Amino acid sequence: MHEEKIFQDKLDREIKIEPQDWMPDAYRKTLIRQISQHAHSEIVGMLPEGNWITRAPSLKRKAALLAKVQDEAGHGLYLYAATETLGVTRESTIEDLNSGKAKYSSIFNYPTLTWADIGAIGWLVDGAAIMNQVMLCRTSYGPYARAMVRICKEESFHQRQGFEILLTLSRGTVAQKEMCQDAINRWWWPSLMMFGPKDDDSPHSKQSMDWKIKRKSNDELRQQFVDICAEQVKVLGMKIPDAELKWNEKKQHYDFGQIDWEEFWNVVKGNGPCNRDRLEARKKAHEDGDWVRKAAMAHAKKSKHKKQQTKVG
């Protein structure tokens, strides 16, 4: 088929697919799901961190956390806008999240128990997200790739502020050091799960690779992440909670232990510690904002009407 050939030819030559271009239905559907779920993750991701904004230990930390959370809202917006270019409305996308139909990254179903969690999230969770997002800067769909470039530029401050929080704690009192290690212990494994199931267990991601939506496999990205973190943790003088973590001279990579996939599936299926809270919070925000959206629209219509009348008069 002619159109199919043009599409494939663009992929082969690393030319981006743009909204007006012909694309296979399945490609479009895959993108709608992936980009909107990515958007939902940015939005829900504000909740665990938002939990600490009012309790940040200093004005500097508070300002930084506020700025980071605001960035995440922006990331959500860039991605929702990219989703819309594929022919879905913003309203229906958000409706899918609020009705529980659409998923978001499971990492945000874990609670933030101490201030150190904010550090661990910045270092590990944003770190893992960056790994994924850097890869997605080269994704084949133009609007998605452009959103990713913008997002990646903003992300590096997120990770650095997180690491700095942990670094400060790691040089503090015994209690602060313990708090730091405890946060790393709790966030390490869920962060590794962020990359998704093992390659053998995600047979469909091959199609995404063929379409050049995804450019690296789950396991590749995860390995890259482990290699980097295993070195960075030394700067903190902390430990990664994995007895099997060991440098493998032959592979030139770190070996690491088994991920608890049972826990993973449990959280995915909605039984994580905070799944219900997160969704409730999103729904409440949406419902509480309803009158604001309506009032703004009514005001806009009214003032437009007024303007037209003065022109006539």
Partner 1 sequence: MNILVRKYLYGDIPEDNSGGQPQSKNNGSNDWPLWEVFIRNKQGLDHKHVGSLHAADAQMAIENARDVYTRRMEGISIWVVESKYIHASNPDEADSMYDPANDKIYRHPTFYHLPDGLTHI
Which residues face 254 on adjacent strands?
247
Contact between residue 143 and residue 169 where contact means Cβ atoms under 8 Å apart? no
- Select from 245, 243, 241 the least CA-distant residue to 256: 245
Residue 158: which of Fe ion, partner 1, none does it interact with, CB under 5 to 8 A by kind?
Fe ion
Question: How far does CA 32 lie from the centroid of its chain?
Answer: 16
Residues in contact with partner 1, counted by CB under 8 A, come to a total of: 70
- Select from 166, 226, 228 the least CA-distant residue to 193: 226
- Residue 179 to residue 181: CA distance in whole angstroms: 6
- Residue 192 to residue 133: CA distance in whole angstroms: 15
**Which sign does the torsion angle of CA 276, 282, 288, 294 carry?**
negative
Binder of partner 1 out of 248, 271, 303, 308 (CB under 8 A): 303
- Residue 81 to residue 144: CA distance in whole angstroms: 9
Tokens of 65: 């956390």
Measured CA distances, 65 to 157, 184, 300 (Å): 11, 19, 33
Say whether 254 sits in a helix, a strand or coil.
strand
> Taking the complex as a whole, how short is the minimal distance between the CB of residue 169 and partner 1, in angstroms?
27
Which residues face 247 on adjacent strands?
254
Footprint (CB under 8 A) of partner 1, residues 157-176:
none
Is 279 an interacting residue with respect to partner 1 (CB under 8 A)? no
Binder of partner 1 out of 43, 47, 65, 86 (CB under 8 A): 86
Binding segment for partner 1 (CB under 8 A), chosen from 52-60, 113-121, 236-244, 295-303, is 295-303
Residue 21: which of Fe ion, partner 1, none does it interact with, CB under 5 to 8 A by kind?
partner 1
Contact between residue 127 and residue 191 where contact means Cβ atoms under 8 Å apart? yes
Is 75 an interacting residue with respect to Fe ion (CB under 5 A)? yes
Tokens of 175: 């209690």
> Taking the complex as a whole, how short is the minimal distance between the CB of residue 159 and Fe ion, in angstroms?
8
Binder of Fe ion out of 126, 139, 193, 278 (CB under 5 A): 126
Is 238 an interacting residue with respect to partner 1 (CB under 8 A)? no
Is 101 an interacting residue with respect to partner 1 (CB under 8 A)? yes
> Taking the complex as a whole, how short is the minimal distance between the CB of residue 209 and Fe ion, in angstroms?
23
Say whether 253 sits in a helix, a strand or coil.
strand
251 vs 311 by CB, closer to partner 1? 311
What residues contact residue 196 under an 8 Å CB cut-off, 6+ apart?
202, 205, 218
Tokens of 102: 């659409």
Is 138 an interacting residue with respect to partner 1 (CB under 8 A)? no
162 vs 272 by CB, closer to Fe ion? 162
Binder of partner 1 out of 11, 16, 21, 51 (CB under 8 A): 21
Residue 29: which of Fe ion, partner 1, none does it interact with, CB under 5 to 8 A by kind?
partner 1
Binder of partner 1 out of 61, 105, 119, 229 (CB under 8 A): 105
Residues of the shown chain interacting with Fe ion in the complex, contacts defined by CB under 5 A? 42, 72, 75, 126, 155, 158
Q: Write out the residues near partner 1 by the rule CB under 8 A.
A: 18, 20-22, 28-30, 32-34, 36-38, 41, 67, 70-71, 74, 77-78, 81, 83-84, 86-93, 96, 101-107, 128, 132, 146-147, 150, 154, 193-197, 202-205, 208, 218, 261-262, 264-265, 268-269, 293-294, 296-297, 299-300, 303-304
